[in-house]
Amino acid sequence: MTITTDNYESWFYRYSEGELDEREQREVEAFAAQHPALADELNLYDPELKLQAAPMVFADKESLMKHDHKVVPLWRWAVAACLAVVLMTGAGLFIFQREDNGPVVAQATLPQPLPAQQPTTVETTPTPFETNIPATSKRLPARKLARASAPQSSPTVSSHAEPTLVAATTNPASPTAETPQVEAQADNEPTVIVYHEIYVVADAEPQTVQQSPTNTDPENGIESLRSFGRSISTRLRAEALRAQGNAKMMLASL
């Protein structure tokens, strides 16, 4: 290839960098002699004139790196989600069931059988509660009383085979404070005293209020029963609010 005014720059570069053989070098020198302006330009070329660049550090190399990320299959996420839903639903049902059953259950229990040698007229030991419970005694059918009885309840006063049950139900609103009445039945119908048991389900500890037939202070009994009723009502409200709060939290988490 012959050097011309169109391609002299590449020739001049290779000439200045020492990449030409002797014949090519003579061609370049002859061309420069014929073109003085280009010869002056060739003289300006300095092969030692090089760019200088200080080392630089790209600090954030970690952002460029690629790392393996463990991929969890989609079905595992689905199984985990299903388990979570089941658990949350179960917990929610448990809480709602507690709320539906009511935190407090007050019920009359089957009377406890008295020892056989005890007389029909019951003598019971006074307790702070039992002395204050006004009770109205009424005769209940045996099947109704059995349905209302608690598991741990048993006939209180009976030495006979077929007891006639007398359920004493608390009646705090009743202004009349009467001592518990025990209705003595006929000879073949044993008398049964129904004890009052109040269960606070949240505490799982039954609070038993026993009725004392020997109570002789009905006014104090009414007041004590009212106080006890107020305390139970307060606890009931607290338990209900707590259960309601738990239910709301469960719903929010769902």
Q: Which residues, in sequence order, are bridge partners of residue 196?
A: 108, 209
Name, in order, each residue with C-beta under 8 angstroms of 4's C-beta and a sequence gap of 6 or more: none
200: enclosing H helix or E strand: strand 196-200
Which of 41, 99, 183, 217 touches another protein (CB under 8 A)?
Answer: 41
Report in angstroms how near the CB of residue 241 gets to another protein at its nearest: 57
Which of 65, 173, 204, 252 touches another protein (CB under 8 A)?
Answer: 65
The yes or no reply on residue 23 touching another protein (CB under 8 A) is no
In whole angstroms, what is the distance from residue 110 CA to residue 127 CA? 19
The yes or no reply on residue 13 touching another protein (CB under 8 A) is yes
Burial degree of 156 (CB within 10 A; 0-12, 13-18, 19+) = buried
The yes or no reply on residue 37 touching another protein (CB under 8 A) is no
The yes or no reply on residue 21 touching another protein (CB under 8 A) is no
- Among 40-48, 128-136, 211-219, 246-254, which window interacts with another protein (CB under 8 A)? 40-48
The yes or no reply on residue 50 touching another protein (CB under 8 A) is yes
In whole angstroms, what is the distance from residue 38 CA to residue 45 CA? 11
List interacting residues with another protein (CB under 8 A).
7, 9-10, 12-14, 16, 41, 44-47, 49-53, 55-58, 60-61, 63-66, 68
